Amino acid sequence: MASSKANPPPPPLPIYYTPLPTQPDAPSYILLPLHRPGTASPRRFRTICAASLVLVAAVGYILYPSEPDLDVVRLRLNRVHFRTVPQLLVDISLLLTVKVGNADVYSMDYSKLDVAVGYRGKMLGHVKSDHGHVRALGSSYVDAELEFEGVEVFSDVVFLLEDLAKGTVPLDTVTTVEGRVGLLFFGFPLKAKVSCEVSVNIKNQTIVRQNCYPE
């Protein structure tokens, strides 16, 4: 009788392999951001441009020529004399001092300085001064004497007598200066005109009120 017991499976075949050789340690790398020397960021470029514009504007403001500062610092009513023959006339003598200020960083040379004096809207006369020089950021004082002889003031004689009795005479002055400002070989022509309303105390020969405005 044949045996019913199954035969055992054959043993597995052995597996043969060759181990791979070990690799040496791989080098380490550090990644840095790309930097291009000499290339500024847009924000930095805008900042530099804005600072340059401010610097140019400041230099232009300093170097741009400005009008001289004109001011009547002293006005003395030296003499008032009335004449009635052949008509009512008055002789007036005035002593005044004009201050010419230069606010620029370079000197100023003026070729003409004209001061006109009026009373209650009526021009009495004017006086001219010779050329002068004002240093940078400095000032100069010009003395002038005005002699008005035979001025017709018939329409204003009452007001003039009242002002003399009060001790204060209101006068109008118009000061005009023409010249040149510059540095070395560079120069700019200038012309300034200032009108002032001046009240003079004839007792102590001082200016009690002055209101000036450029024209």
**Residues 30-61: tens digit of each pLDDT:** 666 665 655 557 888 888 888 888 888 877 66
Under the banding of pLDDT at 50, 70 and 90, the label for residue 13 is low
CATH topology of domain 76-214: Immunoglobulin-like (2.60.40)
Helix (H, G, I), strand (E, B) or coil at 12: coil
* Sheet containing 69-83: order of strands: 69-83, 89-101, 139-152
Residue located via tokens 């120069």: 187
Sign of the alpha-carbon torsion through 209, 211, 212, 215: negative
- Nearest-angstrom CA–CA distance, 36 and 41: 11
The tokens of 185 are what?
């070989």
Say what the pLDDT of residue 65 is: 72
- Whole-angstrom CA distances from 172 to 24, 56, 126 are 105, 42, 11
Q: Return the domain boundaries, the chain.
A: 76-214
Q: What is the pLDDT of residue 21?
A: 59
